């Protein structure tokens, strides 16, 4: 009875725990910590969605067990979103399922399709459930680069030639957590061609479909002709409508994968509480100005954060999408590693960030900074970081080209 359970042994200690502990102690001492370490949306759910929940909850018929795969109107509403947004037609009966947040769907699909010992291809760094959903299910994970470019495609090619057994599934996530990389449709075309040729399932995580800041609007992999032969895509109301606590997501695409997920979920759950499903229909089918408003809030925060960090002497690329900046650790602190640097920043600047190592070994050398506080708090954070950088003599001496002016894109 002393030995750890098999599945638990496969889950390494939580990398974020150390920083979280330091954060909790600082708060217990009464320090004001600006927490940019989480990916938890802080803006309220739009009121028409909340009202629909309140209205429906008053109806006793809504209190019974619901439908595991989602009420028909909800599956139709998701199909309507795909039609409007991506020009992708979906059959709500066979190609759509509602999930208890996209995280649950990712984990349960992994368990539905995995045999022990299967090889799964997962970007590194990535959102933890991308690899751990499969690890819990007994698979082996082969890491691939997280960049939506030739490097990933070359690594995929090597993986199919050198992995034993041959990979059965591949995960992608753009706009990405934690890296904020965004993919375009041409990249998805290559990915779909590759996966069809080698008979590999693709699970695309599109949780940040609507959180983008520039002209590149994130596409769906299902826009690629033939994608439905091998791909399923996860979307979520968590970020799009600030509904993270409601636990409402979807999987859409390949009918065999949807059927597998439907089957396993029918054994595990009775679906989200009906009023939540009805309110989710109101979100997807009601007025959409709130989506642009939420996007604008993140864009403004992105601009404030990046401008402030640049002014502090920290050269962080401006993210095109997602809720995060993926920041290379300043040269001066690189040897501390991402956990050490995060702890130092917390202790001295009062700013919490997520160490890159928590997203996989290739996340080392980076920290993830969340756009999860208002602009005033972000300004306060970047002022504290500026002071911290100056105190440590960490501001790089600018190599000035007189023809180039400082600008923030």
Ligand X SMILES: Cc1ncc(COP(=O)(O)O)c(C=O)c1O
- Residue numbers at the binding site for ligand X (CB under 6 A): 39, 101-103, 127, 173, 177, 205, 207, 236, 238, 244, 249
**Closest alpha carbon to 275 in 287, 266, 267, 283:** 283
Least CB distance to ligand X at residue 338 (A): 18
Nearer to ligand X, 244 or 394 (CB): 244
Question: Which CB, 103 or 302, lies closer to ligand X?
Answer: 103
Residue nearer to ligand X on the CB measure, 201 or 314: 201
When the beta carbons of 103 and 228 are compared against ligand X, the nearer one is 103
Q: Which residues contact 313 (CB under 8 A, 6 or more apart)?
A: 330, 386, 389, 390, 394, 395, 396
Nearer to ligand X, 100 or 384 (CB): 100
What's the length of the chain? Answer: 409
213 three-state secondary structure: coil
Using an 8 Å Cβ cutoff, are 281 and 288 in contact? no
Min dist CB 236 to ligand X, Å, is 3
Q: Select 56 or 102, whichever has its Cβ closest to ligand X.
A: 102
Which residue's CB atom is positioned nearest to ligand X? 101
Q: Judged by CB, which is closer to ligand X: 238, or 342?
A: 238
Closest approach of Cβ 243 to ligand X, in Å?
Answer: 8
- CB of residue 102 vs ligand X: minimum separation in angstroms? 3
CA distance 128 to 133: 8
Residue 199 CA, chain-centre distance (Å), reads 26
Two tokens, residue 10: 């496969």
Least spacing, CB of residue 148 vs ligand X, in Å: 14
Residue 198 CB, nearest distance to ligand X (Å)?
24
The Cβ-side half-sphere exposure at 326, using a 13 Å CA radius, reads 25
Tokens for 192, please give them: 């779909």
Q: Is 32 exposed, middle or buried (0-12, 13-18, 19+ CB in 10 A)?
A: exposed
Nearer to ligand X, 146 or 384 (CB): 146
* Cα 271 from Cα 307, distance rounded (Å): 43
Supply the minimum distance, in Å, between the C-beta of residue 103 and ligand X.
Answer: 3
Query: How far is it, in rounded angstroms, from Cα 199 to Cα 168?
Result: 7
Measured from the CB of residue 289, what is the shortest distance to ligand X in angstroms? 22
Q: How far is the CB of 154 from ligand X (least distance, A)?
A: 24
CA distance 96 to 74: 9
Q: Which is nearer to ligand X, 247 or 386 (CB)?
A: 247
Task: Read off the DSSP letter of residue 320.
Answer: S
Phi, psi for 262 (deg, rounded to 5): -60, -45
Q: Which residues pair with 326 in a beta bridge?
A: 368
Q: Specify whether the backbone of 138 is left (phi greater than 0), alpha (psi in -120 to 50) or beta.
A: left
């Amino acid at each position: 009875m002393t030995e750890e359970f098999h599945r638990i042994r496969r889950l390494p200690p939580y990398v974020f725990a150390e920083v979280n502990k330091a954060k909790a102690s600082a708060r217990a001492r009464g320090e004001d910590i600006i927490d940019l370490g989480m990916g938890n949306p802080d803006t309220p759910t739009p009121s028409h969605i909340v009202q629909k929940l309140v209205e429906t909850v008053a109806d006793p018929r809504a209190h019974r067990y619901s439908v595991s795969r989602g009420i028909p109107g909800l599956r139709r509403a998701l199909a309507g979103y795909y039609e409007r947004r991506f020009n992708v037609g979906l059959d709500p009966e066979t190609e759509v399922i509602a999930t208890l947040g996209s995280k649950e769907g990712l984990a349960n699909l992994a368990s539905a399709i995995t045999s022990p010992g299967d090889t799964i291809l997962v970007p590194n760094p990535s959102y933890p459930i991308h690899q751990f959903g499969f690890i819990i299910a007994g698979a082996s994970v082969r890491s691939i680069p997280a960049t939506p470019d030739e490097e990933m495609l070359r690594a995929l090619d090597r993986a199919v030639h050198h992995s034993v057994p041959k990979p059965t599934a591949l995960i992608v996530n753009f706009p990405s957590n934690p890296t904020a990389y965004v993919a375009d449709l041409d990249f998805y075309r290559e990915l779909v061609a590759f996966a069809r040729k080698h008979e590999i399932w693709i699970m695309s995580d599109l949780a940040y479909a609507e959180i983008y800041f520039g002209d590149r609007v994130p596409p769906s992999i299902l826009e690629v002709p033939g994608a439905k032969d091998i791909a399923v895509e996860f979307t979520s109301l968590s970020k799009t409508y600030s509904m993270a606590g409601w636990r409402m997501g979807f999987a859409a695409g390949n009918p065999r994968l949807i059927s597998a997920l439907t089957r396993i979920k029918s054994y595990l759950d009775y679906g989200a509480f009906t009023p939540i499903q009805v309110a989710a229909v109101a979100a997807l089918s009601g007025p959409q100005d709130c989506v642009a408003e939420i996007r604008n809030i993140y864009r403004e925060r992105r601009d404030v954060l990046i401008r402030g960090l640049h002014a502090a002497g920290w050269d962080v690329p401006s993210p095109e999408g997602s809720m995060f900046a993926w920041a290379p650790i300043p040269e001066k602190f690189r040897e501390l590693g991402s956990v050490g640097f995060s702890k130092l920043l917390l202790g001295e600047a009062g700013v919490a960030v997520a160490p890159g190592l928590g997203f996989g070994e290739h996340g080392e050398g980076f920290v993830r900074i969340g756009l999860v506080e208002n602009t005033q708090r972000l300004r306060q954070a970047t002022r504290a970081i500026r002071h911290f950088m100056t105190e440590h003599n960490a501001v790089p001496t600018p190599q000035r080209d007189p023809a180039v002016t400082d600008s923030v894109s």
